């Protein structure tokens, strides 16, 4: 059985791609990224960054397989 859901992450706009871990640190593995349940919550968090223009909110499709 598979369950798919969309979540949101904050990542930088340049290379190499780095993801926010929800504690203000940048991680290079998506597995370490913090996933938000809605785009609005992610954008609200992004607005608190020192340089929000250097980042973007991206949708991540997560699949769980049982």
Residue 22 confidence class, pLDDT cut points 50, 70, 90: very high
- Taking the whole predicted model, whether its pTM rises above 0.85 is answered as yes
Instruction: Please say whether the beta carbons of 26 and 32 come within 8 A.
Output: no
Other C-beta atoms closer than 10 Å to the C-beta of 12 total 15
> What residue ranges do the domains of the chain occupy?
2-65
Over the stretch 31-50, which tens digit does the pLDDT of each residue have?
999 999 999 999 999 999 99
- Residues 13-46: b if buried by 16+ CB within 10 A, e if exposed: eeeeebbbeeeeebbeeeeebbbbeeeeebeebb
């Amino acid at each position: 059985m598979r369950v798919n859901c969309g979540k949101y992450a904050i990542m930088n706009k340049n290379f190499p791609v780095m993801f926010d871990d929800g504690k203000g640190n940048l991680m290079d593995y998506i597995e370490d990224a913090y996933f938000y349940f809605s785009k609005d919550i992610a954008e609200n968090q992004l607005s608190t960054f020192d340089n929000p223009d250097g980042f973007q909110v991206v949708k991540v499709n997560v699949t769980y397989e049982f």
